[in-house]
Amino acid sequence: MRHYDAIVIGGGHNGLTAASYLARGGMRVCVLERRSIVGGAAVTEEFHPGYRNSIFSYVVSLLRPEVVRDLDLERYGYQPILLENSLYLDSRGDYLLLNGEDAHDRAQFAKFSQTDYDAYLAFDESIEQVGGILAKQWLREPPKLAMNAIGDIVSALRLGKDVYDLDEEGRWRLMQFFIGAPESIINRWFESPKIKAMVAAHIMPANFAPLTQPGASLSMLHHAVGEIAGRKGAWGIVRGGMGSITQAMAECAQAHGVKIRTDAAVAKIEVDNGAVVGVCLEDGERIGAPVVAANTDPNRTFLKLLGEEHLTNNFARDIGAFRQESASLRINLALSGVPEFAAIPGTELGPQHNASITFIESEEHLNQAYHSARAGQPAEPPIIEAIIPSVLDSDLTDHPGDHVMSLLCKYMPYDLADGKDWDTEKSVVVEGILSHVEKFIPNLRDILVNAQCMTPLDLERVLGMTRGDICHGRLEPDQLWGMRPHPEAAQYSTPVEGLYLCGSGAHPGGGVTGAPGHNAAQRILRDR
């Protein structure tokens, strides 16, 4: 039986990050990945001959600059590219096309409101101020609720000081985002229904929640603290697709001696006398190590790979109640030409193509989509976020003039009503989505070569993520900081000696951040 100082389960970006830091700290590390390639949700794959795309996670902003620097990712090929514009469309033909230039964006807002642009600037400033508090915590170990160690007290005091340093309005805004309902926040700031819809789409980026749910606004702060090319809050793509990030991480890890094994699915985390002793693979192979860092989600880690027999009844029950569920599916489009938008005609590449594109009708559209999905019916039409990454990276297609387009479609439930299942309903849902998108892109069918769909069930099957939840748990107040995923596992260590969490189910949560992997590695190295 092979032995290592540490085993990392799951070769996604957080697992690779943790492995690199552990190896840099002098540990012999093995990464075990169930798929034939590393990367987890951050991969680039050919989904149709001649067409490649980031088929799961598709944009970058949240990757911590400290991780980029420490792992020297640029040396290994990491190259982000800014999405320069934001486009918001509805089926009435109304649109907002924003590029960050004051005069241009003010004129776009003026089509719908004379006051909302100034309100948006103030709102954005507030987001940056209170979001900065959140960002400071990302590479910090959250305090345990028990406060039974000096480190917990220090961590709590640092958080308290960060909040204290805000002015009174800043503290108020922070509390609004922490416990307030998105609807009340939107109505407090804006008057135009079009602007409200735009902001609503941002406030609800990942959560399976309605605009009326208290605490659902916090997800916006989580997704607003990144930057690209020095532009705070901006988003971009990565040359070569998101797989370039994880390939760079893998090269860094291997350069420090990490053993990476693919097609190595873990069946069981092995425990002896309350302590981890290694893992057993699905083919029966056993690998020994006194430390196991799980990049798998909390449900899979504790209830499937570890087993309830090694947990207290209360802990197992609480993990079973930890909310993990998908609210979206992905469609990757192979296109033989440039999409032409009905609202902005023309097939010459323009700012509308180099943009994050959102299809949303109204606030009510979002609420209706949520209630439909909660009842087990795919939203019709869904809220759609889209990009055309090949506009910025021609290497994604084999032939000039071809393009790939990503569609993130929300709200799409994991559980379907009336005994239906995704295997039989996928084609019907995809056809409905394409027909909807065709209202905005009239030439879609003319240039469509192929459409690949990844449903919530596909995400679970392919990536091993419980209920297709790419965030490894909803980003809501009672599932963050010292409560993620449980007060007894909030500092990356767990009730089982030697077992650690290094994935998005730990603080600070989902997104391609590298933070859970970084923080888990620091904790392991301190515990050695």
**Domains in the chain, number:** 3
In contact, 443 and 426? CB cutoff 8 Å: no
Report the C-alpha gap between 106 and 145 in whole angstroms: 46
pLDDT bucket at 160, cuts 50 / 70 / 90: confident
Q: How much is the CA Rg of the chain, to the nearest whole Å?
A: 23
Token pair belonging to 398: 């084999």
Q: Which of 27, 64, 56 is nearest to 516 (CA)?
A: 64
How confident is the model at residue 174, as a pLDDT? Answer: 85
Task: Tell me the average pLDDT across 173-177.
Answer: 86
What local confidence, expressed as pLDDT, does residue 152 receive?
A: 74
**Beta 85-89 vs 95-98: how paired, if at all?**
antiparallel
Among residues 437, 463, 489, the one where a domain terminates is 463
Instruction: Look at residue 47 and tell me if it is in a domain.
Output: no
Percent of the chain with pLDDT over 70: 100
| Residue 224 shares a structural domain with residue 127 | yes
Answer yes or no: are the C-beta atoms of 153 and 229 closer than 8 Å.
no
Burial label for 65, CB within 10 Å (0-12, 13-18, 19+), is: exposed
Tell me the pLDDT tens digit for each residue of 350-396.
999 999 999 999 999 999 999 999 999 999 999 999 999 999 999 99
pLDDT tens digits along 294-348? 999 999 999 999 999 999 999 999 999 999 987 899 999 999 999 999 999 999 9
Q: Residue 75 domain-assigned?
A: yes
- Residue 102 falls inside a structural domain: no
Reduced to 3 states (helix: H, G, I; strand: E, B; else coil), residue 19 is helix
Domain boundary among 411, 439, 463: 463
In this structure, is residue 246 part of a structural domain?
yes
Express each pLDDT in 425-480 by its tens digit.
Answer: 999 999 999 999 999 999 999 999 999 999 999 999 999 999 999 999 998 889 99
Joined tokens for residue 4: 């290592």
388 and 411, same structural domain? yes
* In contact, 12 and 41? CB cutoff 8 Å: yes
Given pLDDT bands bounded at 50, 70 and 90, which one contains residue 170? confident
Same domain, 219 and 156: yes
Can you spell out the DSSP letters for 131-151?
A: HHHHHHHTTSPPPPTT--SHH
Calpha distance 277→440 (Å, rounded): 56
According to the model, what pLDDT value does residue 359 have? 97
Beta strands in 63-208 (DSSP E): 80-82, 85-89, 95-98
Could you tell me the CATH number of the domain that includes residue 280? 3.50.50.60
pLDDT digits (tens, 9 = 90+) for 23-78: 999 999 999 999 999 999 999 999 999 999 999 999 999 999 999 999 999 999 99
Q: Is the pLDDT of residue 206 over 70?
A: no
pLDDT tens column, 375-386: 999 999 999 999
CA–CA distance, 438 with 445 (Å, rounded to integer):
7
- The conformational region for residue 433 under phi > 0 = left, psi -120 to 50 = alpha, else beta, is alpha
Range of the domain at 36: 2-41+63-79+239-323+469-527
Confidence of residue 130 (pLDDT cuts 50, 70, 90): confident
Q: What does the pLDDT average to over 142-146?
A: 81
Candidates 308, 282, 280; CA nearest to 292 is: 280
Q: How far apart are CA 31 and CA 19, in angstroms?
A: 7
Instruction: Tell me, yes or no, whether 307 and 412 share the same domain.
Output: no
Q: What is the three-class DSSP state of 470?
A: coil
Q: Are residues 343 and 406 in the same domain?
A: yes
> Is residue 485 domain-shared with residue 458, that is, in the same domain?
no
Residue 225 has pLDDT above 90, yes or no: no
pLDDT at 512 (0 to 100): 96
Mean pLDDT value across the chain: 94
Within a domain: 152:
yes
337 in the same domain as 431: yes
pLDDT bin (cut points 50, 70, 90) of residue 166 is: confident
Q: How confident is the model at residue 153 (pLDDT cuts 50, 70, 90)?
A: confident
Residue 513 amino acid letter: T
Q: Are residues 423 and 332 in the same domain?
A: yes
Q: Answer whether residue 197 is part of any domain.
A: no
In the chain the first and final C-alpha atoms are separated, in Å, by 22
Q: How many residues would you count in the chain? A: 528
Tell me: do 419 and 520 sit in the same domain. Answer: no
Torsions phi, psi for 266 (to 5 deg) = -85, 130
Alpha helices in 214-350 (DSSP H): 218-222, 243-255, 298, 313-321
Domain boundary among 422, 439, 463: 463
Res 133: pLDDT: 84
Is residue 282 one of the residues assigned to a domain?
yes
β-strand partners of 403: 335
User: What is the percent of the chain with per-residue pLDDT over 90, rounded to a whole number?
Assistant: 83
* Confidence (pLDDT) at 151: 74
Residues 248 and 150 in one domain: no
Average pLDDT estimate for 412-430:
96
Residue 366 sits in the same domain as residue 399: yes
In a domain, 52, yes or no: no
Q: Taking the model in full, what pTM does it have?
A: 0.95
Whether the pLDDT of residue 147 is over 80: the answer is no
Kindly state whether residues 478 and 520 are assigned to the same domain: yes
